[in-house]
Amino acid sequence: MNRKLRVGVIFGGRSGEHEVSLVSASSVINALDKEKYEVVPIGITPQGRWLSSSRALGLLQAKEQLDGEIERILVPEPHRHSLIAVANEGDSPQPLDVIFPVVHGTYGEDGTLQGLLELADIPYVGAGVLASSVGMDKIVQKQLFAEAGLPIVRYVGIHSSQCRDESATVVRRVEKRLRYPVFVKPANTGSSVGISKAHNREELRAGLRLAAEYDRKVIVEQGVKDAREIECSVLGNDDPEASIPGEIIPSNEFYDYDAKYVDGKSTAIIPAKLPRAVTSTIRKLAVEAFRVIDCSGMARVDFFVTKGRGKVFLNEINTIPGFTAISMYPKMWESSGVSYPQLLDRLITLAIERHREMASRRTTFTPGKEWYRS
């Protein structure tokens, strides 16, 4: 292809991680090689409106009024490959070659956006519908990890309605299965939104109420004593590779939202100072977790490693990790010899390769007899 690839970068969205997405998208847009790519910013407001203009990112960051902005959407029709204006007949369609979704959390990282992109038949960066959905659901991914024999902590999965209507029963169930401290999380959020650490029954009840506000399911996980938080990046499709692991030293008792994004006091150590055997185990488990959920493109896999014994627990997989220039996913690859711009190039290439392979599938079947005709 002699012309530049038109890369649609989708950001924002109807999610508690809306602001995080804007920061990730800003880094991606600035780092994409303008000699290779024509970048098309596509912003989704917290209310779900789609906007596409050079002003989209700035408008969402400033939380400005958007009434005068043209709304452009992707339609689930496989021959357009374009953004279509909603209510402006004179507006020409904007063709797209590949999509780079940087929408964290619900309606972006959970398979819903990926389903739209599949219907629109546009190559896109990252995991497909199944892996995105499973990677978002902390309970389902743990069930699959356990089935595959991967080391995870004990946990209890609960419907949010039970947290509200049967709280005493839920507390007894958790206390029978787990020991304090425990972590209470919405099953389908990221960036530590809605997460709390409970040291006793009162904090557990409060944590269950909080988590239930964000999702229809809640997961309570066993805390790991003297745990180090280790992360590892994975890149690839059918033959994925794992980066050098890194360690997070959180500024708070655990790596909550403020410690991740607000106070600026958490530190990252890359590479993580681990015994060679533990590093090898983490990289191996990261690739296994990636394959277990049938992931593609990219993922960040998070672990707990106990101090002293070096026992490794797989915590969770994130299919659209934070993507600022200082986020752990690109920083671990940078330490592994892949620069931020090179990483973006590789992800776009992987997206196109995966789409090409998917396009080779047969999607029609002609019966021997036309039995379906009335």
One-letter amino acid for residue 317 of the chain: I
**Mutual orientation of helices 276-292 and 138-147 as an angle, nearest 10°?**
110
One-letter amino acid for residue 107 of the chain: Y
Q: Give CA–CA dist 139/218, Å, rounded.
A: 8
**Residue 338: count of CB within 10 angstroms of its CB:** 19
Half-sphere exposure of 116 (CA within 13 A, CB side): 14
pLDDT of residue 336: 97
Question: What is the SS3 assignment for 243-272?
Answer: CCCEEEECCCCCCCHHHHHHCCCCEEECCC
Rg (CA), the chain: 22
Question: Which of 3.60.21.10, 3.40.50.11900, 3.55.10.10, 3.40.50.20 would CATH assign to domain 5-124?
Answer: 3.40.50.20
Q: Where in the chain is the domain with CATH 3.30.1490.20?
A: 154-222
**Residue 373: count of CB within 10 angstroms of its CB:** 5
Contact 50, 16 (CB under 8 A): no
Give φ, ψ of 161 to 5 degrees: -60, -35
Q: Give CA–CA dist 367/129, Å, rounded.
A: 29
**Beta-bridge partner residues of 241:** 235
State the CATH class of domain 154-222: alpha beta
pLDDT of residue 361: 84
Helix (H, G, I), strand (E, B), or coil: what is residue 84? strand
Q: pTM of the prediction? A: 0.90
Q: Give CA–CA dist 59/77, Å, rounded.
A: 29
Q: Where in the chain is the domain with CATH 3.30.470.20?
A: 227-355
For residue 251, what are the contacts with CB-CB under 8 A and spacing of at least 6? Answer: 258, 259, 263, 265, 266
pLDDT of residue 308: 83
Longest dimension (CA), the chain: 73
Question: Which of 1.10.20.140, 3.90.226.10, 3.20.20.100, 3.30.470.20 would CATH assign to domain 227-355?
Answer: 3.30.470.20
Q: Where in the chain is the domain with CATH 3.40.50.20?
A: 5-124
Per-residue pLDDT of the chain in tens (374 residues, 90 and over written 9): 578 999 999 999 998 889 989 999 999 999 999 999 999 999 999 999 999 888 889 889 888 777 777 888 898 988 888 888 776 656 778 889 999 999 998 899 999 999 999 999 999 999 999 999 999 999 999 999 999 999 999 999 999 999 888 989 999 999 999 999 999 999 987 656 789 999 999 999 999 999 999 889 999 999 999 899 999 999 999 999 999 999 998 766 655 555 555 556 678 999 999 999 999 999 999 999 999 999 999 999 999 999 888 999 999 999 999 998 788 999 999 999 999 999 999 999 999 999 999 888 887 888 888 887 76
For residue 356, what are the contacts with CB-CB under 8 A and spacing of at least 6? Answer: 123
Q: Give CA–CA dist 22/61, Å, rounded.
A: 7
